[in-house]
A and B are shown apart, each in its own frame.
Chain A
Amino acid sequence: MNLAAAHPGFLSPTGVEVAFVLVGLATLGAALLTVTTRQLVHAALWLVVALGGLAVEYLLLTAEFIAWVQVLIYVGSVVVLLLFGLMLTKAPIGRSPDADSGNRWVALAVAVAAAGTLVWVVVDAFRTTWIDLGGPAQGSTEVTGAILFRHWVLPFEALSVLLLAALVGAIVLSKRTGRER
């Protein structure tokens, strides 16, 4: 037997756990750089690192489906949207000295409070519970897909209809068929 499955201890970390902590530190650093850098484009790129680091953490926790969703949605679309926003609003490429808000200390307090609450909730909820990730993977694509397309197939299909309705609505609200454009 291996250590991870048989020995619910925290003082003899396996390779996966070491990697988890290291990636976590990198993610935290990238997140800090995102909010402290004075260059808007750099902030967006550090955000990629932070969100990508989170995806790696999910992967290490065997939640591969969530990991790829994280990559697709956050790293893929949200950051791209952000960069497009920077491009379209002609944001300055270099350092922006006015990038600091007067509310930064309030923001810091809120962020620390939120992080503290989350950490406390997670620590309090699990404490020393040992969850064996070697068992049947709950977060794997296979399990998620099987549940989604067996038990939740009707809500899933209804959601696709919702997307279609939203698409029709977006076209109705934005379509211009005049000759002048």
Chain B
Amino acid sequence: MSATAAAVHSLWTTRALADTAATPAIPTPHIEYAQLSPVLIVFGAAVLGVLIEAFAPRAARYAGQLAVSVVGLAAAFAALVALAADGYAQGRSHVAAMGAVAVDGPALFLQGTIVLIALVATFTFAERRLDPVAHGNRVDSFAAQGSAVPGGEQEQKAVRAGFTTTEVFPLLLFAVAGMMIFPAADDLLTLFVSLEVFSLPLYLLCALARRRRLMSQEASVKYFLLGAFSSAILLFGIALLYGYAGTVSYGGIADVVDGTAKLTPALANTTGNDALLLIGGAMVVMGLLFKVAAVPFHMWTPDVYQGAPTPVTGFMAAAVKVAAFGALLRLLYVVLPGMRWDWRPVMWGVAIVTMVVGAIIAVTQTDVKRLLAYSSIAHAGFLLTGVIAVSPSGVSSVLFYLVAYSFVTLGGFAVVTLVRDAGGEATHLSKWAGLGRRSPLLAAVFAVFLLSFAGIPLTAGFSGKFAVFKAAAQGGAVPLVVVGVISSAIAAFFYIRVIVMMFFQEPQPQGPTVAIPSPLTSTAIALGVAVTLVLGVAPQYFLDLAGKAGVFVR
């Protein structure tokens, strides 16, 4: 190469260089397929679902989708159990896929929880016996045709033709796979990408209710706009953290925060000023708090939970909370433990406001779905108390609480789908009066769920609350625990008010009827009851499991 050629930018000389010296081949990335298999299986099932949607005849799609979803999720759970049995939850936990995801105890535990939630949610998605038979076709909770104008002629035609939106199954699986990566993400880019992978299908699913379609579409637009804002804030925070640390990997940022990273001149420049770290960290945490519906960022929750199809609401309420709390735990415990004196006071405030506001506003609700939405906000506050205890018992208590909460929530929303009148689900609380006389079994089941939400002993809710409050108290957050207990008491008021309403009031003459579900929804509700009682009566095995899974890899 002549000197003149080298003087020009390398851009113009790349070709010449390539001719003189053979360009070195890019080494292939090292991907641990076996350890990523749970996620890959779910992705594969989702793609298979898309293919079914494209090629299978309309009549065969429902059965095919259901089979693919159930088999895929079951296989993913089996793969997770195999990984955990191989010791990846403890001794062999490490960071896989070129530093993109962590394979460790919390990741496997949360992924297992999400897969089981999705399995139960698939059952409620597939339920086709609740709505009356329309023109000889059994229908599910989803719109016959998403594009048809609500109430229009085209919609009637679509219903008459027996169209169904079976695309919800692949969309569910896409969301599940995103949620599985989310709590395991070990760098901020993977975190953001997986956030989008699970959010986008949820926005879509929210818009597809069969009844009250305008409300459903409004919910979807609200969720989408606010979700887009929160994603943008998260992304901005990621950019600032990258500006601070010069890396997006969790371990790398943690090293810079701790001061153990090798100090380069560029790094010395940025680390002298904590503003980037503080603002960036706050923005990333804000994005996650939006997803868990903690209080300053909770505005979307009641509207979206009310408008979305109830099976989707149940899935969203349970699984998004699990995934987002997993990501929040990893972020705070792996990336920012060195900053805990900065973030703990803030999280104290968020937790207190979340518990109190969630519980107090829930008292004034008159709609079952909105009531459960505010209850889920309050539960986010209880979970945050466990997060604030920066200790292994904090992690394991949150993991346990998430399992307890999610199955109760799934069961609760499944019960809501059964109480119906001519307009679909009868979600107004006044219609639930006297339900205990009409359908004692259903009312009793719902009462069990409500008692568990309230945290009455011998239910899963009590064990979970006890675990997080114990961890918080041991972490020195006794005032927080006091606030938590008080707001639990406030919350118990409205749960018990619903129970009183169901059992001790006279049923209205034109009250709702209770639909007889197929074995699908029955299974979902029965699983909810079983988990509630087992975790309430004999929680020790699961507490131990969560305790063993409580160590993050870095």
Is there an interface contact between B10 and A177, defined as CB atoms closer than 8 Å? no
Inter-chain CA distance A151–B200, complex, in Å, is: 25
Is there an interface contact between B31 and A62, defined as CB atoms closer than 8 Å? no
> In the complex, which of the residues A135, A145, A162, A176 contacts B200, with contact meaning CB atoms closer than 8 Å?
A162
Cβ–Cβ < 8 Å partners of B167 in chain A: 168, 171-172
Distance (whole angstroms) from the CB of B294 to the closest CB of chain A: 25
In this assembly, does A22 line the interface, its C-beta being within 8 Å of a C-beta of chain B? no
Is there an interface contact between A172 and B9, defined as CB atoms closer than 8 Å? no
Tell me which residues from 17 to 56 in chain A have a Cβ below 8 Å from any Cβ of chain B: none
> In the complex, which of the residues A150, A158, A171 contacts B29, with contact meaning CB atoms closer than 8 Å?
A150
Cβ–Cβ < 8 Å partners of B154 in chain A: 176, 178, 180
Cβ–Cβ < 8 Å partners of A64 in chain B: 11
Distance (whole angstroms) from the CB of B168 to the closest CB of chain A: 8
Residues of A in contact with B (beta carbons under 8 Å apart)? 1-5, 14, 16, 59-60, 62, 64, 133-137, 140, 142, 145-146, 149-155, 158-159, 161-162, 164-166, 168-169, 171-178, 180
Inter-chain CA distance A142–B23, complex, in Å, is: 10
Known contacts A134-B6, A165-B170, then 8 further A-B pairs from the complex at CB < 8 Å, ordered by chain A residue: A62-B10, A149-B26, A149-B29, A155-B189, A158-B197, A168-B53, A174-B147, A175-B146
Interface residue range, chain B: 35 or more
Is there an interface contact between B29 and A140, defined as CB atoms closer than 8 Å? no
Given contacts A64-B11, A169-B200, contact A158 B178 (CB under 8 A): yes
Distance (whole angstroms) from the CB of B94 to the closest CB of chain A: 15
In this assembly, does B137 line the interface, its C-beta being within 8 Å of a C-beta of chain A? no
Cβ–Cβ < 8 Å partners of A153 in chain B: 29, 31, 97-98, 100
Is there an interface contact between A152 and B189, defined as CB atoms closer than 8 Å? yes
Cβ–Cβ < 8 Å partners of B7 in chain A: 2-5, 14, 134
Distance (whole angstroms) from the CB of B315 to the closest CB of chain A: 15
Q: Enumerate the 4 nearest inter-chain pairs by beta-carbon distance, A residue then B residue, closest first.
A: A2-B7, A154-B100, A169-B204, A165-B174
Given contacts A62-B11, A154-B100, A169-B201, contact A164 B174 (CB under 8 A): yes
- For B1-45 the 0/1 string (1 means CB < 8 A from A) is 001101111110010000000010011110100001000000100
Is there an interface contact between B27 and A150, defined as CB atoms closer than 8 Å? yes
| A–B complex contacts, Cβ < 8 Å, 30 sampled | A3-B7, A137-B10, A137-B11, A140-B14, A142-B23, A149-B26, A150-B98, A153-B100, A154-B100, A155-B100, A155-B189, A158-B181, A158-B197, A161-B43, A161-B197, A162-B197, A164-B50, A165-B174, A165-B200, A168-B53, A169-B203, A171-B167, A172-B146, A172-B165, A172-B208, A175-B147, A176-B154, A178-B145, A178-B157, A180-B157
Cβ–Cβ < 8 Å partners of B204 in chain A: 169, 172-173
Is there an interface contact between B97 and A176, defined as CB atoms closer than 8 Å? no
Cβ–Cβ < 8 Å partners of A142 in chain B: 14, 23
Interface of A is mostly: helix
Cβ–Cβ < 8 Å partners of A146 in chain B: 26
B28's nearest neighbour on chain A, judged by CB, is A150
Cβ–Cβ < 8 Å partners of B9 in chain A: 16, 60, 62, 133-134, 137
In this assembly, does B348 line the interface, its C-beta being within 8 Å of a C-beta of chain A? no
B220's nearest neighbour on chain A, judged by CB, is A173
Is there an interface contact between B3 and A151, defined as CB atoms closer than 8 Å? no
Distance (whole angstroms) from the CB of B149 to the closest CB of chain A: 11
Cβ–Cβ < 8 Å partners of B98 in chain A: 150-154
Distance (whole angstroms) from the CB of A144 to the closest CB of chain B: 11
- For B191-204 the 0/1 string (1 means CB < 8 A from A) is 00110110011011
- For B161-177 the 0/1 string (1 means CB < 8 A from A) is 10101010011001101
Given contacts A161-B177, A162-B197, contact A168 B50 (CB under 8 A): yes
Distance (whole angstroms) from the CB of B183 to the closest CB of chain A: 14
> In the complex, which of the residues B27, B158, B171 contacts A169, with contact meaning CB atoms closer than 8 Å?
B171
Is there an interface contact between B200 and A166, defined as CB atoms closer than 8 Å? yes
Is there an interface contact between A159 and B193, defined as CB atoms closer than 8 Å? yes
Cβ–Cβ < 8 Å partners of A172 in chain B: 146, 165, 167, 171, 204, 208
Cβ–Cβ < 8 Å partners of A152 in chain B: 98, 100, 189
Is there an interface contact between B101 and A140, defined as CB atoms closer than 8 Å? no
In this assembly, does B337 line the interface, its C-beta being within 8 Å of a C-beta of chain A? no
A171's nearest neighbour on chain B, judged by CB, is B167
Is there an interface contact between B11 and A150, defined as CB atoms closer than 8 Å? no
Chain B CB count within 10 A is highest, among A16, A173, A176, for: A173
Is there an interface contact between A2 and B11, defined as CB atoms closer than 8 Å? no
B166's nearest neighbour on chain A, judged by CB, is A172
Distance (whole angstroms) from the CB of B501 to the closest CB of chain A: 38
In this assembly, does B292 line the interface, its C-beta being within 8 Å of a C-beta of chain A? no
Is there an interface contact between A158 and B27, defined as CB atoms closer than 8 Å? no
